[in-house]
Structure 1
Amino acid sequence: MKCKAAIAREDVAEFGWSEVELDEPRADEILVRIAGVGLCHTDLIARDQFIPVGSPAVLGHEGAGEVVKVGSAVTKVGPGDRVALSFRSCGACRSCADHMPSYCQHFGGLNMSGARPDGSKAVRLDGQPISSNFFGQSSFAEYALAYESNVVRIDDDEVPLELLGPLGCGIQTGAGGVMRSLACPAGSSLLVVGGGSVGLAAVMGGAVQRCGTIIVVEPHAARRDLALELGATHAIDPIGNDVAAAVRDILPDGVDYAFDTTGRPDSFAAVLASLAVRGHFGMVSAQAADTTITLDVNSFILAGHHVQGIIEGDSDPDVFIPELIAHYKAGRFPYDRLVTTYPLADINRAIEDQHAGRCIKAVLIPDHGKGAAHD
């Protein structure tokens, strides 16, 4: 079929907007009409080839929509089902068997290779194959091909379909980092560095966990204010302030748990200086710049600190996404307050606004039928 898609090209800072040809679904594939797709930092570092997906490419990995057609081997969903799309996993390795699919031994090949496992590409531009299958979806388009391992059927129709996509990556990363990876217990203290969508999802996750103290570090005043509305008890502006000293003014013994979304070495240092004895430090952000972390081994050992890398909030999407939806419906997880919607064709404006702090989480809405051709 033909549809419109945002195209990432090598050495071009902005996405293009073009008609492409999308393959018919193979036996194991699911054709989804995209209702909305979140804009994530991972898409941008893939556009810039820090993740070597190959260029040109159709990216996008926080899609949601309605199933149009399924291959002959698909039994999990059928035409008309509402689905949120997440990362792809093999379902057979030890991590997948342990319900930890974000650590699938084949994660890189299934999600970041720019092709199917057999090397074929599902999208053509001007008759030539281009990189596709990003996170098993490539959902910066009107339609996408997905798989049973990365579609989550959403039977509840009360949540707007276009808002479900961010649950598949950024929101589940932040919330899952606190609720699953760190598993912060009630009454514990939590430091969240970064007040973007991942960080604010972590704040809401801390509130769901009933953390006693939640401190957010964020330079944008509006985001600090929103964090306080979403459950943070304290907010620190890192500009011109000693973050560790500010944290210890609040909690002299330091924080039990810390969650960094920035990937910045100066943030790592501040977090480590803020941790209580036996404190836990989780980090999630992948960056193109130097992210080397320096540890004072003696201090690290004597304090019994734990440092943990986290992918996708240690989430099993089939379990965790419905859990987040239940919290949302109960008013405990108002992630929609982070969202600003844009037409998918305005992806470059959405990126600019997100970088400038004018929005927190951009969700891109395909404009089906206007300026697009379909077979």
Structure 2
Amino acid sequence: MSQSWSLIATAPMGLESIVARELQELGFENIKTENGRVRFTGGPLEVCRANLWLRTSDRVLICMGEFPAKTFDELFEGTKALPWHEWITEDGEFPVDGRSLKSQLSSVPACQGIVKKAIVEQLKQHYHTEWFHEDGPRYRVEVSLLNDRAMLTLDTTGAGLHKRGYRKLTGVAPIKETMAAALVLLSRWNPSRPLYDPFCGSGTLLIEAAMIGWNVAPGLRRTFSSEGWPIIPDSVWEDARDEAFDAVQDDIELQLTGSDISPEAIELAKAAAKSAGFAREIDFHVAPISKARPEGEYGVIITNPPYGERLSDTKEVEQMVRQLGFMAKVLPTWSLFSISPSKQFEHYFGRPADRRRKLYNGTIECQYYQYLGPLPPRQPRSESEQ
């Protein structure tokens, strides 16, 4: 069997280009951006690396095949023709999920049933058995129908990639780890600059920044469903993990600070930072934004102020954004980045953003408001560098 597979990194709406950039920086090939996903190619090692390293993708899929499917017969025959036996073991568990959009086959449960039946028939022919116990490795299949065309995929990830493993408890409406990482990657922050979050909640933004700053692979502390697949040997996973451990740069000094008005949130943030291995690197303290005092020059504020379901009082939201604007005024060398669904954000903040980018925080349409302060002056090169 060829060891170059058609792979897909799924992406939240608006983050496809960030996922593509991550794949490019990781050295993957044949990268193609589409709505909600980024395609690329690779073999077993690439599957391991993508799962371990991708910060903003939701999951990594194997594309098993694509074909026209206007009828259940076409869906059945197209599915049965794919080489499921090369992937799914005789004892493998293979649940089927589905979705359908703008297709004649609009009944998702019916499509799932047809796909399951077709896979069973194909495996029966190969394994010469009439019954599958499905008590072995898990192979989650998805049938996705769009414009009468079916795509069949296998999920290599399991629990979504945002499940890093460090956040055991969460406060109200936390930001997803993948989105938090995206906000950091879209900002001007790098480890040489102070970073402050005045609405830090359970600390996700700062922990993701710490992982980026130290080049920690976000999937290093968790397992993936494809770790049980014979087609991806244990030795390949071990090599990918060893490579990731060797890449950690924990000698870099980080200047990360977070504050929140809620003592409970700060306790959750401290626990998550400790779990992630950054208890000493991130300073968390209880303070309202009016008392927030970022230290240093040429720093970066990245934040996700409370809104929507988190706050019913729009006056309170207005006040918070006004205080953010005031903070920006008294920190002339700092840059500020804030995600918010508020159409009045720039008005309350006191000036229009230098850049805006549409993002979805869960299902909520937001803008990522970017206020770009001056970049730090370049350090003069030492004689040894000249």
- TM (norm. structure 1) is 0.36
The structure showing larger relative contact order (alpha-carbon pairs under 8 Å, at least 6 residues apart) is 1
Larger Rg: 2
- TM (norm. structure 2) is 0.36
